[in-house]
Amino acid sequence: MTTATSFVYERPWLYPQQLAAIFCPERYAIIEASTKSGKTVGCMAWLSEQAMAGAAGRAYWWVAPYYPVARIAYRRLKRGFPPAVYVANETELTLTLANGAVLAFKSAEKPDALYGEDVYAAVIDEATRCKEEAWHALRSTLTATRGPVRIIGNVKGRRNWAYRLARRAEAGEPAMHYARITAHDAVAAGVLDAAEIDDARRQLPENVFRELYLAEPSDDEGNPFGPAAIAAGVSPLSAAEPVCWGWDVAKSHDWTVGIALDADGVVCRFVRWQKPWQETIDGIRQATGRTRTLVDSTGVGDPILEALQRGGAGHFTGFHFSQASKQQLMEGLAVAIQRGEIHFPEGVIRSELEAFEYEYTRTGVRYSAPAGMHDDCVCALALAVAHRPRRVQMVAPVGIPKASVWGAAAGSAWR
């Protein structure tokens, strides 16, 4: 005789904003939320409860921009269930519950692959990074079942379907519910630490911080620097001597660009050309002299850097571009522009800064020029900013006289 085993489900603790946003009665709930504010945990609980109240053969979907993101939710839900209540399929990324309901974790990369199934409830995770066609496909799967859906994610500009749908929900369209959860809500609930949010504010460009932590879309629609900050940074070319150079080396149809900054962070030299390699090497040497210089050493830039360094020219340093290193470099440039630490002339530098874009991918944030445009000036400026000499201000400790420790002849060591 087989003895049935029963399990008691207890919903994970959720703070009031989570409950109100996710466990609302409306069929469509759109939640614009801070990163790490608990939207994923809340929707995992919601989708699990939908499946536990379901029946054998019914499908319940978690859709994410890419399979690695979907797999995160799969692993977390799998850890949360007692092993006796599900059967896992690692290949298909499914959890079949004891009642026969199937939790499936899908990618939005190929929207056509989402058509065909009857889905009884769904979550779209990181919706602003999912293709709109994926939403169209998922919506079709909910037609026969009239299933509910929860659409969650960080804010990313205004040019995406999730933003438009959120505005419809916020306007009070029938069967729609809108919620916004900020980092401050999560801090008040004890989910996030206030000091960590303050640190993120200091480290990130303002528009990126406001999108990721305050759920406020940027007006620049994906520009990491901000139109107002760019406009405020425009200044005539300085006649002062350079303290550093940044060089972006031409690739294919691109330009070789060199930008130098003076001691006040103002662009004081700007050169841009398309020349053969030897002329490029000679031109960089002639322009930079002995000034500290950071050179793009990616791909074709590597042999150029080697040629520049030959003969003991130690003031040339290489920088290898990857998605991660470019992200770090551009975030440093964005902070410098938004803090008013650097200035640049009108013309092609400003044009490239204003056209520059960022987008979220499964491996991080990708920064680049729009298709058909250049970002050589942006990269050269970012290299120069990253290579600036750091100013150190010496301040006399309280209670110590401003007398020289090297004797009267040397003068005071404190200024």
Does 104 map to a domain? yes
Residue located via tokens 């990313």:
156
Q: Are residues 273 and 186 in the same domain?
A: no
Q: Are residues 99 and 180 in the same domain?
A: yes
Residues 170-178, mean pLDDT to the nearest whole number: 91
Residues 272-291, mean pLDDT to the nearest whole number: 91
Does 200 map to a domain? yes
Average pLDDT, the chain: 88
The pLDDT value recorded for residue 372 is 63
CATH number at residue 133: 3.40.50.300
Whether the predicted model's global pTM rises above the 0.85 cut:
no
pLDDT digit string, tens, across residues 377-394:
999 999 999 999 876 554
The pLDDT value recorded for residue 357 is 83
CATH number at residue 297: 3.30.420.240
How many domains would you assign to the chain?
Answer: 2
**Higher pLDDT residue, 413 or 359?**
359
Q: Are residues 232 and 301 in the same domain?
A: yes
pLDDT digit string, tens, across residues 88-132:
999 999 999 999 999 999 999 999 999 999 999 999 999 999 999
Label residue 3 by pLDDT band (50, 70, 90). Answer: low
Q: Are residues 252 and 357 in the same domain?
A: yes
The beta strand positions in 186-262, using DSSP E, are 244-248, 256-261
With a cut of 60, say whether residue 186 has pLDDT above it.
Answer: yes
**DSSP codes, 3-25:** PP------PPP--HHHHHHHS-S
Q: Are residues 237 and 123 in the same domain?
A: no
d(CA 281, CA 41): 55
**3-state SS class at 154:** coil
Label residue 25 by pLDDT band (50, 70, 90). Answer: very high
User: Which range (46-60, 86-100, 389-403) has the least confidence?
Assistant: 389-403
Q: Are residues 209 and 233 in the same domain?
A: no
Q: Are residues 277 and 360 in the same domain?
A: yes
Task: Provide the 10 A C-beta neighbour count for residue 113.
Answer: 12
Does 412 map to a domain? no
End position of a domain, from candidates 181, 214, 247: 214
Does 129 map to a domain? yes
Residues 121, 148 contacting (CB under 8 angstroms) = yes
Pick the closest to residue 248 from 288, 290, 298 (CA basis).
298
Percent of the chain with pLDDT over 90: 67
Does 393 map to a domain? no
Q: Are residues 182 and 328 in the same domain?
A: no
For residue 307, the enclosing domain spans 227-386
Q: Are residues 161 and 253 in the same domain?
A: no
Does 353 map to a domain? yes
Q: Are residues 63 and 179 in the same domain?
A: yes
Q: Are residues 200 and 82 in the same domain?
A: yes
Give burial (CB, 10 Å; 0-12/13-18/19+) of 252: exposed
Does 398 map to a domain? no
Q: Are residues 175 and 120 in the same domain?
A: yes
With a cut of 70, say whether residue 412 has pLDDT above it.
Answer: no
Residues 85, 52 contacting (CB under 8 angstroms) = no
- Secondary structure letter of residue 372 according to DSSP: T
Residues 129, 47 contacting (CB under 8 angstroms) = no
Measured CA to CA in angstroms, residue 126 lies from 10, 30, 34, 73 at distances of 26, 11, 11, 12
Measured CA to CA in angstroms, residue 81 lies from 44, 76, 97, 299 at distances of 11, 9, 9, 48
**3-state SS class at 115:** coil
The helix, strand and coil proportions of the chain, stated in percent and rounded to the nearest 5, come to 35, 20, 45
Does 411 map to a domain? no
